[in-house]
């Protein structure tokens, strides 16, 4: 069910406090331990029904709540990980790469976060390409704060799209479609191999997303991809404690 003009029972009673982080593990395939977490926004309504972002982000964007959502998620995650020696990521939008508010907020939190270098910000490939001219400056400012930027949902390997791989990102997350469509006997395999090799040479993390089949793990090993996330490796959960023990 979408939160929109046809669903006024939810939108009229919307509160940012109803959006909470769910935590999904990013797993190191060498030992299947947790390498870091992605913190995913979930909306829980008065009936305890849980909604994924695709069900409410259009409403958030229409009402210009995107910056508030990032701020809200950031503060909840700072609290959740305050005593956890574990890296974690939250998602941001293209607009926040152009707005100094997020950087100001990150700076203001420095004194209250003992392991601030663990924070990562995820930006979709389409958003990254839409603000490619301002990204070097934004990445550099985040690097000064020991905050890494990850490119999420990489699905396009066209020549124009590949310019993102030359920037100083902390890591790249390859989409399910990109991984599962790889043909070992085709050029796509060598293209991804080159990208992965370049990333490893620059100490950048490469993560395969939405891993749900054992056969995908075999392909990841052939590609040299060490990190992955998906339902096969761990579903998003509401409590961090449950993840730490999973």
* 121-144 confidence digits (pLDDT tens): 999 999 999 999 999 999 999 999
pTM equals: 0.89
The percentage of the chain sitting over the pLDDT mark of 90, rounded to a whole number, equals 51
| Statement: residue 11 has pLDDT above 70 | no
Neighbouring CB atoms inside 10 A of 83's CB total 8
Least confident of 33-42, 133-142, 177-186, 230-239: 177-186
| Statement: residue 86 has pLDDT above 60 | yes
pLDDT (0 to 100) of residue 246: 42
Confidence grade of residue 205 (pLDDT, cut at 50, 70, 90)? very high
């Amino acid at each position: 069910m979408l939160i929109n003009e046809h669903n006024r029972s939810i939108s009229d009673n919307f509160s940012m406090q109803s959006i909470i982080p769910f935590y999904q593990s990013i797993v190191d395939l060498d030992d299947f331990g947790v390498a870091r977490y992605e913190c995913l926004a979930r909306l829980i309504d008065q009936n305890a029904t849980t909604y994924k972002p695709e069900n409410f982000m259009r409403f958030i964007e229409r009402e210009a709540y995107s910056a508030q959502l990032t701020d809200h998620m950031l503060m909840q995650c700072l609290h959740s990980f305050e005593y956890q020696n574990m890296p974690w990521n939250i998602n941001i939008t293209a607009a926040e790469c152009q707005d100094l508010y997020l950087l100001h907020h990150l700076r203001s939190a420095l004194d209250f976060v003992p392991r601030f270098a663990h924070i990562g910000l995820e930006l979709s490939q389409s958003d990254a390409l839409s603000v490619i001219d301002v990204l070097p400056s934004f990445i550099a400012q985040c690097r000064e704060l020991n905050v890494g930027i990850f490119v999420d949902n990489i699905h396009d390997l066209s020549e124009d799209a590949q310019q993102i791989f030359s920037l100083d990102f902390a890591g790249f997350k390859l989409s399910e479609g990109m991984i599962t469509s790889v043909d070992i006997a085709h050029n796509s395999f060598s293209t991804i191999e080159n990208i992965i090799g370049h990333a490893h040479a620059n100490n950048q993390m490469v993560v395969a997303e939405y891993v749900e089949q054992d056969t995908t793990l075999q392909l990841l090993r052939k590609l040299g991809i060490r990190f992955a996330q998906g339902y096969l490796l761990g579903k998003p959960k509401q409590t961090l404690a449950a993840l730490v023990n999973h």
